[in-house]
Amino acid sequence: MNLSALLAYISSGICGLFCIAYLVLTFVHQRGSLARWVFCASMAILCLEGLAMGFGASATRVDDFLYWQQIRLVALSFLPALWILFSLTYARGKVRRTLSKWRWTLIAFCATPAVLAAFYYDSYILFRQLRSEGGVTILLGWPGQACHFLMIIGTVLSIMNLERTFRAAVGAMRWQVKYMILGLGTLFLVRFYTSTQALLFANVHTGMDMIDSIGLIVSSLLILRALTRSGHFNIEVYPSHAVLSNSLTVLLTGIYLLVVGVLAKFVALIGGDIAFPLKALGVLVALVLLATLLQSDHFRLNVRQFVSRHFKRPMHDYRTVWSRFTEETASHVSQPELCKSLVELIAEIFDSHSVSLWLLDPEQSHLRLSASTSLSETDSQSIELESRVARSLKASFDKIRRPIDIDKTEESWARLLRERNPKKFEHGGNRICIPMNTKDSLLGVVIVGDRVAGAQFTEPEFDILNSVGTHAASSLLNLQLSSKLVETRELEAFQTMAAFFVHDLKNAASTLNIMVKNLPVHWENPEFREDALRGISKTGDRINNLIGRLSNVQSQLQIEAKDTGVDRFVETTLERWQPPTEISLNADLDSRSTADIDVDQMGKVILNLVINASESIEGGGHIEVSTRSDGNSVTISVADNGCGMSPDFIKKNLFRPFKTTKQRGLGIGMFQSKMIVEAHRGRFQVESEEGRGSTFKILLPVDENTH
């Protein structure tokens, strides 16, 4: 058995063992996820590819050799789709939304190899050519070249997505996914290299099979190391949508392809170089090592320490640090978002893997975990504090309003925090507790530990941490006060709404009461009975309408937006409303765009606008609904020739609750509509003139995939 076949069989066996092991773990622990199943499927295909390489390398007949090479190319062509799917689901949150945006890419990567295998199977390989130094060179047909082109694009997209996952993960989460991403990144880079060589020369040399096998074995060892870091499949990170603007993958790929392309042209001019593939591999390895070095926490820390020590510069630029904290905290309007941003900033600036933020409840009896870079959702999220422990915690930071090293104190509260914030790294240094103090109270604490290289905090860093704690407490207090203010306003709104509700019910009850009193007196009169039945029916309809409008008022609006064709959505919504006979409804739908729309909620907005338009028209009139797209947004317009509105009413009252021009209106329709439109990241434009009509325009952002 030759070395190439042996390496192919070894790599195939490793992939088969990985596939079986992950399937067993998935069924035993009942933690199946899409990422796990895709990983198992890709390992199974790599196992099949390794067997095909091994059988081909061991073949003695030319036909057998070509047969297994064709099998290998077919298996190879299906890998990019699986790798892209895995890179989109591994350690990711909001998987469905991500897959929805990538659906056409995934379909293309699944359909292309299927079409090639079904209709062009015999064209993958044209013929073979023996080289003087041994080995076999296979000349590829265009379907074979297409397989390698898919591999190049697929590996770049996969590495780019894994890079986004790695960048979004912070602290211990990054530590958990590091070796899985490093192992897969190694595998993808090796395949990227061999496929670029195949596409560049339109052939494949069997010597490249050995590189693929060795790369798979090395990446498998790294993935095996990842298995020792439990929970990496259960992490959920949320990468930024800025993909191409700051992607190191795209930059290095462009540099590599440019350098290799220039070298290939130069080599061709001087008559060829049999060592060119190895030189191209050297360029790739150099770029990978450079990228790895730049992403190393230890390297960045050593650079800062070197600059600080030899150029008399501080480790941290205080103005930059303070500016970053101010900008980040000012942009959040909810407590969970603020806490998450705080722990990520502290972890990044102070090179700490483990940062956890604990908040005291109003009764000062529990510390609740609000955000962490190391503790998962399955960890305990609450610390019960006895009254003496709570008093001791508050007294400690009243006495010393500075961070405290909890590994150097034996206070009861410090022991509790050490238990609930365990060290992830043996040499990560001591854990620091940062108080979040306001003038009169302690809102919570931040635990910082597991620093890169176990670096100790300096006095200047303690000062920064103290300022960070104070700033965080101020931001949290502002959010809490804002929340109480919102609750107070909601209560006032409810009381106002209740007054409207009671008033209308009182009128309805009065009407019914008069009818009931008159029934015994006028029961024998047929005309009275008919009038009474009509009055009761109208009163019932009025009560139902009132209840229906009140049910639309919600304290928090939940939006479930999906990619929707705007024209079809508006057309379907208008079908649910029948205009009065004296009013004509015209639809001019010409946007041809899609947007993320909650059909039920946005449908209420469209219906509310056309109903308001019909109620503003006295006698006969017309309503026109239209859609247009300008590339960046889509506009839905509802225009009428009704009574119109004054500029003062539009400016001061149109979108305020309980402000209306209708005698029987509640004034909540436009208020609710504005909430729904803004929840879709859209906005209203209103044009109106008294006596001539109104035009309401809804501007919504267009789906990126439309263009």
Report the alpha-carbon distance of residue 432 to residue 321 in Å, rounded: 19
Provide the pLDDT for residue 638. Answer: 92
- Burial status of residue 496 (CB atoms within 10 A of its CB: 0-12, 13-18, 19 or more): middle
| Residues 436, 402 contacting (CB under 8 angstroms) | no
Residue 486 token pair: 């919102």
In this structure, is residue 127 part of a structural domain? no
Provide the pLDDT for residue 616. Answer: 84
Provide the pLDDT for residue 242. Answer: 42
Q: Do 219 and 259 reside in the same domain of the chain?
A: no
pLDDT digits (tens, 9 = 90+) for 533-545: 777 777 777 677 6
In this structure, is residue 322 part of a structural domain? yes
Residue 466 token pair: 């103290």
Domain boundary (443, 463, 483) is at 483
Q: Which residues of 370-381 are buried (b: 16+ CB within 10 A; e: fewer)?
A: bbbbbbeeeeeb
pLDDT digits (tens, 9 = 90+) for 377-397: 555 567 888 888 888 888 888
H/E stretch holding 233 reads: none
Using 50, 70 and 90 to split pLDDT, how confident is the model at 216? confident
pTM of the model: 0.47
Report the alpha-carbon distance of residue 18 to residue 12 in Å, rounded: 10
Q: Do 446 and 595 reside in the same domain of the chain?
A: no
500: which residues sit within 8 A by CB, 6+ positions away?
A: 658, 666
Domain boundary (483, 504, 532) is at 483
Strand order in the sheet with 442-451: 382-384, 366-372, 352-360, 442-451, 432-437, 404-405
Provide the pLDDT for residue 707. Answer: 46
| Residues 105, 97 contacting (CB under 8 angstroms) | no
Q: Do 232 and 260 reside in the same domain of the chain?
A: no
Residues 607-617, mean pLDDT to the nearest whole number:
84
| Residues 698, 605 contacting (CB under 8 angstroms) | yes
What is the dihedral sign for C-alpha 261, 263, 266, 270? Answer: negative
In this structure, is residue 136 part of a structural domain? no
Q: Do 227 and 374 reside in the same domain of the chain?
A: no
pLDDT digits (tens, 9 = 90+) for 289-345: 655 555 555 555 555 555 555 555 555 566 777 677 777 777 777 788 888 888 888
Cα R_g (the chain), whole angstroms: 34
**DSSP-derived secondary structure letter, 457:** P
Neighbours of 525 (CB within 10 A): 12
Residue that the structure tokens 């820390």 belong to: 301
Q: Do 645 and 589 reside in the same domain of the chain?
A: yes
Q: Do 492 and 477 reside in the same domain of the chain?
A: no
Report the alpha-carbon distance of residue 194 to residue 197 in Å, rounded: 5
Q: Do 532 and 666 reside in the same domain of the chain?
A: no
Between 661 and 95, the more confident residue is: 95
In this structure, is residue 302 part of a structural domain? no
Residues 197-201, mean pLDDT to the nearest whole number:
78
Q: Do 101 and 230 reside in the same domain of the chain?
A: yes
Between 672 and 596, the more confident residue is: 596
Provide the pLDDT for residue 170. Answer: 66
Provide the pLDDT for residue 531. Answer: 75
For the chain, what is the total number of helices (H) and then of strands (E)? 21, 16
Report the alpha-carbon distance of residue 116 to residue 147 in Å, rounded: 9
Q: Do 671 and 595 reside in the same domain of the chain?
A: yes
The share of the chain scoring above pLDDT 70, in percent, equals 74
Provide the pLDDT for residue 379. Answer: 53
What is the dihedral sign for C-alpha 428, 432, 433, 436? Answer: negative
Provide the pLDDT for residue 637. Answer: 93
Provide the pLDDT for residue 580. Answer: 78
In this structure, is residue 556 part of a structural domain? no
In this structure, is residue 134 part of a structural domain? no
Q: Which domain holds residue 570?
A: 562-706
Using 50, 70 and 90 to split pLDDT, how confident is the model at 626? very high
Strands (E), 497-630: 562-565, 583-589, 594-597, 621-629
Provide the pLDDT for residue 161. Answer: 82
In this structure, is residue 133 part of a structural domain? no
Domain count, the chain: 5
| Residues 38, 79 contacting (CB under 8 angstroms) | no
pLDDT digits (tens, 9 = 90+) for 147-161: 888 888 888 888 888
H/E stretch holding 9 reads: helix 3-29
Which range has the worst mean pLDDT, 20-24, 245-249, 667-671? 245-249
pLDDT digits (tens, 9 = 90+) for 426-469: 777 888 888 888 877 888 888 888 887 677 777 777 888 888 88
Report the alpha-carbon distance of residue 341 to residue 294 in Å, rounded: 24
Q: Do 494 and 477 reside in the same domain of the chain?
A: no
Provide the pLDDT for residue 453. Answer: 67
On the CB side of 72, CA atoms within 13 Å amount to 26
Domain boundary (527, 551, 575) is at 551
Report the alpha-carbon distance of residue 512 to residue 157 in Å, rounded: 70
First to last CA, the chain: 54
Q: What is the mean pLDDT of the chain?
A: 76
Using 50, 70 and 90 to split pLDDT, how confident is the model at 244? very low
In this structure, is residue 163 part of a structural domain? yes
- Burial status of residue 659 (CB atoms within 10 A of its CB: 0-12, 13-18, 19 or more): middle
Q: Do 536 and 614 reside in the same domain of the chain?
A: no
Provide the pLDDT for residue 557. Answer: 60
CA angle 666, 668, 674 (to 5 degrees): 160
CA angle 255, 259, 263 (to 5 degrees): 170
User: Does the pLDDT at position 224 exceed 60?
Assistant: yes
Q: What is the CATH number of the domain that holds 490?
A: 1.10.287
User: Does the pLDDT at position 665 exceed 50?
Assistant: no
Q: What is the CATH number of the domain that holds 590?
A: 3.30.565.10
pLDDT digits (tens, 9 = 90+) for 277-288: 555 455 556 655
Q: Do 517 and 595 reside in the same domain of the chain?
A: no
Residues 616-631, mean pLDDT to the nearest whole number:
86
H/E stretch holding 439 reads: none
Provide the pLDDT for residue 40. Answer: 86
